[in-house]
Amino acid sequence: MRRSFGGLAGMLFTAGKAAFVAERGGRIVGGVALGVFRIDAARRGGVVKWLFTLPAARGHGVASELVDRALAWFDEQAVTDAIACVEALNAGSSNRFARRGFAPLGFLEQVHRFGWRLPTVWWHANHVVDVGHVLWARGVGDASAAASGDDAEDRAWGLAGLAATLAWHAAFAAILLVRHGVGLDPAAIATFGLAAGAVVVVRTGAQALAGRAAGLRLRYLPWETGLLLAGAIALLFGGPFVAPGGPVPRARVWSPAAAAPALARMALAGATAVAALGAAAWWGVAAGVAQDLAEPVLLYARMMLLVDVLLPFFPMTAFAGWRVLEASPVGWALLAAGTLALWLVAPMF
């Protein structure tokens, strides 16, 4: 596990109820860790907790064999709902699960499928506080639609998810202000909600434009457990956090190699746009221009860039930093320098 994902992932790893390994020439080259849990009296959940292969063994069917063994074990355990938690842009894993009848579940679909037991499902799927992963389940809708991503409702669901993301950030702004003794001041709530929303919209819009310019068909995915994390941070610590979600390829099965340059440009565009917004807010604060709005915009832009740029390693792989670093170390260094400038030089509020 450590050789596949790095030391931090190894610290977080748990084997679950069962673990299987793949061997080549007497050497372990991959593994899968599985869990089972009771959903209700009639349903039993099975979760793929971890799936990994050594870099040298990738592309040779090892992970596919492990998933097939996992599904066979689920059958042996009388599992009715097989689920997995997949990083939004991890095409290798999403392709593999899509070809075996899995599809991503939107938040409303999760509520419809699991009802009030959804938090239990999140807990067992390691989906309580993740970094941009998506809950997948087997037997969701039409298999061909799941593979192609041609569902006509995708765009509507994406717009609804973006609207919900903006609304929740406004609600968290209210919590943040109450925690800091400002109270439920409608004007202040509107200003902070607008600031958080501006960061989300600017980042998402820049990514979408870059992706479409590269020929990708995209859909917006909210980060529902990130919203949970943002609310918890505001409530418990009185701090700001941005859970932006983002545009991802609409197709459930797509080529990571072919899409990698476009995804890197999307990541670079989103982070650059937030950095530019933060710089404009910084100028507004220094010049005394629209300062009431500029200060919270700078606050949220800093937090977004901290996660999006400065942490390009597991478990932050759903954010932009590592994609920019992989495609353009110089581009990442410039963004990192700009982020540090916003944090170290601009005044704190």
Is the N-terminal amide bond of 315 cis, ω within 30° of 0?
yes
Q: What residues does each domain of the chain span?
A: 2-148, 154-344
In whole angstroms, what is the distance from residue 61 CA to residue 234 CA?
Answer: 44
Query: What is the CATH T-level fold of the domain 2-148, as seen in this structure?
Result: Aminopeptidase (3.40.630)
Contact between 46 and 81 (Cβ < 8 Å): yes
How much is the pLDDT for 177? 92
In this prediction the pTM is 0.85
In whole angstroms, what is the distance from residue 326 CA to residue 337 CA?
Answer: 17
Query: Using one digit for the tens of pLDDT, what is the confidence trace for 312-327?
Result: 877 777 778 888 888 8
How much is the pLDDT for 191? 93
How much is the pLDDT for 13? 76
Cα-based angle 340, 342, 348 (whole degrees, multiple of 5): 115
Regions of the chain short of the pLDDT cut 50: 142-150
How much is the pLDDT for 154? 66
Residues 6+ apart with CB under 8 A from 22: 28, 29, 30, 31, 53, 57, 62, 65, 66
Query: Using one digit for the tens of pLDDT, what is the confidence trace for 263-296?
Result: 999 999 999 999 999 999 999 988 888 888 999 9
How much is the pLDDT for 348? 55
